[in-house]
Structure 1
């Protein structure tokens, strides 16, 4: 004990005798930890695809009736840049993507400003956003029925960047003790003109949306609403809760009391009507002790098309193709092609099961993640199955090899797609 006390006394004496030396030993620059005013990043990517075409599919006949082929090869380079500039309470953020593609049928390119907005945060509980921004509402992983003011996710790549809409957003947040720990109110104003947000809905309208977020006893609760003349008024509820640290359940419910819709008839005509629609999603995310992540979501699309109506569209495309082969006329084909955007979007039907399994570093193989994604149309039993291999062993590089198989009988959603399967290799360099 005496030696221990003596050692500490000697150390304190040396520090008192040489204060400058002691402070130099532990000195560090606090400014090095301050956020930089300007930051930027992004990635460059090159993707190669080999597509085996489905020559019996309705969408194949609409796209390739003039030049029949069994395969298609495509090369797609792209560049995505994002950056932010911070000054005081203001942050200016932007994200843009440029893409080009080449295949045996032609070439093209596209440049999009995904986001570009000014964010003002005068206090930690208040913020105002002005400009083009992606607003993420909902708890679902691949699908968000309550995403009232956002573009839908790509179910095959739900984590990829999307394009936002131009608007004004206000967020007010309050935190406190007790069962109700956090309350947040988000308000969004979204104008639509012929040149601004023109793909959101009818032009010359101002649309308003609101979300009330509550964190109550470790449960995330979201109450949502939208009103405006560009789209029908709708209401939503989204909930998520961690049952365990590795097990989360979530759900969403969206209801549209009154909306116009059109139904394709057997003769190819469209009959307009008005009705209500209710969509919902139930999902879970589970992480096993061996780093296997399981995501499953059951989705009912109340605004989707029934199997009978989809079958009428497929018959219209097939009849148009037969008419073209027999007479050379393209009238019916053109009619079907005009309806293709309505019936060719992802998850166009009524009921789906989405499942994704990803296993991080199996058998201790570092930087390696195999995964498989399956989307099943529960009404016609058609599906897409996508196993993939992801490797990130080289600094700032990511490689992904994916194979997608589409399967289904004639008249089913995935059985009528333009492709039978697709092999894809993607290399991405982050900076």
Structure 2
């Protein structure tokens, strides 16, 4: 017994096996002005929010060749000041006592074990964020993880549950991955994975994604080829196979160019049903017949619907970074489809008149994002531009960043500036804002029975938003 205790004592004092624990405490105060007269209801959207996050990131190595790590956040949220429209269309304050109370939330961003069997074979099990694409603001090939915020891409750390086998070689790498879908959660923790439990059986299907990747370093370029097969994993596709690719390389020393794409047949997007959204009479008829206003009409079509992102990055001599990217979505809404989409949103105001459940009108689906994002982006159209500029080391302690997102179809967009101050080595203060703008009226669509013109980004239910974040590291 004594030799065993002595061995354990030696192991506990070995530096290479010591546990490391890092993390931070953050306070995020947000105020936004709700666009009450817009098409998206704001009844349940607070104008004032306070978020307190306690994050811990432990890491423990073990012999031979492995480690266990986690990224866990505990949130306390409080919200208040709700505004909306009453039945007569007048602006009113709405009491949301339950929603305004502090609500705890756990976000298990990552928790996995990584083991090196031999240098050419790595195994991983648990929850991890894995991104194979080269895009900065958006990743068309990221079918695995919760979506990220294009205005702050590095903030999203929440990953997916998976089993992964990787073969890393000097200039090549091969990866196989299997991920079960999380179908239900409670306070941020999963309670149904892969299949629904017997007491809450919504379907008999297994919800999963299988992925394979081949990486190669070719002429100083990073090249990835990807194959995905999924069944009801994050979208409505059943037994769907898609191909992905990415390319990234530096040219002329300082200019980086990258392209990333996903190719597959059909689309899982819910499209507006034009026959139901021409006018009130057609909408009333569909409501009486119980027909949906939005439906997955292109799931099984034999038309290729690629998503491609291309962009470049340049770093200046003072370490400032400029990035510009273009996104094309073949399954995005055309102008006439966006008009039907707006018609459907307008029906939210008259849903009771038709005896319609407003939930049928909403074309979006619920997506678990893990960490509470500052901005959620779901591109509706076909053409987008992302431009970001970061200027660090302003008077040594300040970093300025600005992101511009724009729809190239109607020239609407969003401006997101931020200024960070590293007051000390362990404290950072960040002030940021979000200001959407509407494109020219000649490219906009018309709200039914009104002369009001709207663009994609003017559909956002806010006029502006400001945030103050205080982060303390430990």
TM-score range (shorter-chain normalised) is 0.7 to 0.9
Which residue does 2:4 correspond to in 1? none
Aligned residue for 1:162, secondary structure, equals: coil
Which residue does 2:132 correspond to in 1? 137
Aligned residue for 2:78, secondary structure, equals: strand
Distance 1:207 1:386 in 2: 34
Distance 2:20 2:61 in 1: 9
Q: Does 1:349 align with 2:381?
A: yes
Q: What TM-score does the superposition give when structure 1 sets the normalisation length? A: 0.81
Determine if contact 1:119/1:127 at 8 Å carries over to the other structure: yes
- For residue 166 of structure 1, report the CA deviation from its aligned partner: 1.4
Distance 1:391 1:426 in 2: 10
Which residue does 2:18 correspond to in 1? 37
Which residue does 1:360 correspond to in 2? 392
Q: Does 1:236 align with 2:222?
A: no
Superposed, 1:235-314 pairs within 5 Å as: 235-259=243-267, 261-266=269-274, 267-268=276-277, 269-271=293-295, 272-273=297-298, 274-275=300-301, 276-314=304-342
Which residue does 1:190 correspond to in 2? 179
Distance 2:112 2:466 in 1: 37
Determine if contact 1:48/1:74 at 8 Å carries over to the other structure: yes
Larger Rg over CA atoms: 1
- The match for 1:123 among 109, 118, 125 is 118
Distance 2:473 2:140 in 1: 32
Distance 1:184 1:83 in 2: 28
Determine if contact 1:403/1:423 at 8 Å carries over to the other structure: yes
Aligned residue for 2:145, secondary structure, equals: coil
- For residue 122 of structure 1, report the CA deviation from its aligned partner: 2.1
Distance 2:268 2:138 in 1: 23
Which residue does 1:53 correspond to in 2? 34
Q: Does 1:168 align with 2:168?
A: no
The CA RMSD over aligned residues, in Å, is: 2.8
* CA spacing shift, 1:198–1:142, aligned 2, 3 Å: farther
* CA spacing shift, 1:44–1:212, aligned 2, 3 Å: same
- The match for 2:429 among 382, 399, 409 is 399
- For residue 371 of structure 1, report the CA deviation from its aligned partner: 1.5
- For residue 33 of structure 1, report the CA deviation from its aligned partner: 10
- For residue 32 of structure 1, report the CA deviation from its aligned partner: 11
Q: Does 1:81 align with 2:105?
A: no
Aligned residue for 1:357, secondary structure, equals: strand
Which residue does 1:151 correspond to in 2? 146
Determine if contact 1:40/1:83 at 8 Å carries over to the other structure: yes
* CA spacing shift, 1:287–1:51, aligned 2, 3 Å: same
Distance 1:423 1:228 in 2: 38
Aligned residue for 2:379, secondary structure, equals: coil
Aligned residue for 1:313, secondary structure, equals: helix
* CA spacing shift, 1:203–1:310, aligned 2, 3 Å: farther
Determine if contact 2:242/2:262 at 8 Å carries over to the other structure: yes
Distance 2:182 2:379 in 1: 28
CA deviation vs aligned residue, 1:68-94 (integer Å, no higher than 9, x gap): x9x821111112211111111221111
Distance 2:48 2:268 in 1: 40
* CA spacing shift, 1:32–1:354, aligned 2, 3 Å: farther
Select between 203-212 and 90-99 the one with higher mean Cα deviation: 203-212
Q: Does 1:113 align with 2:141?
A: no
Gaps of 5+ in 1: 1-30, 176-181
- The match for 2:76 among 89, 100, 107 is 100
- For residue 352 of structure 1, report the CA deviation from its aligned partner: 0.7
Distance 1:159 1:346 in 2: 18
Which residue does 1:24 correspond to in 2? none
Determine if contact 2:35/2:42 at 8 Å carries over to the other structure: no
Determine if contact 1:368/1:390 at 8 Å carries over to the other structure: yes
Aligned residue for 1:291, secondary structure, equals: coil
- For residue 185 of structure 1, report the CA deviation from its aligned partner: 0.4
Q: What TM-score does the superposition give when structure 2 sets the normalisation length? A: 0.74
Which residue does 1:413 correspond to in 2? 456
- For residue 136 of structure 1, report the CA deviation from its aligned partner: 1.4
Which residue does 1:222 correspond to in 2? 224
* CA spacing shift, 1:127–1:234, aligned 2, 3 Å: same
Gaps of 5+ in 2: 1-11, 81-95, 184-191, 197-202, 278-292, 368-375, 440-452
Q: How many residues matched?
A: 382
Determine if contact 2:194/2:206 at 8 Å carries over to the other structure: no
